[in-house]
Amino acid sequence: RGDKGEFVQVMSPTHLKMKVWERGAGPTLACGTGTCALVVAAIRAGKIPRPGKEGVRVTLPGGDLFIEWREENNKVYMKGPATLSFQGKASLK
């Protein structure tokens, strides 16, 4: 079966590096929800301080994401590029 894993390195108080292993797929280029969870967990665990409006840069194999956890509303915001990674057709029966 297998599990999903996220491997993280703290590069600086506002920069994390992350690799993702997806169950059944192996290494992936990115994981938006996992990246958001990573930043919240790193702040709550005291690994990094809560940054200001600039957020935390998370470097993944597919590119950088910028995550902000706002104190005033306790919501997490993600910014980053979006690119087409594949295209295909499926036959649904």
**Residue 1: what pLDDT?**
62
DSSP state, residue 37:
H
Residues of the chain under the 70 pLDDT cut: 1
Instruction: Output the six-digit token pair for 72.
Output: 């005033």
d(CA 17, CA 48): 13
**Residue 57: what pLDDT?**
97
**Residue 54: what pLDDT?**
85
pLDDT in tens, 3-13: 889 999 999 99
**Residue 82: what pLDDT?**
84
**Residue 4: what pLDDT?**
84
Instruction: Output the six-digit token pair for 57.
Output: 């840069």
**Residue 64: what pLDDT?**
96
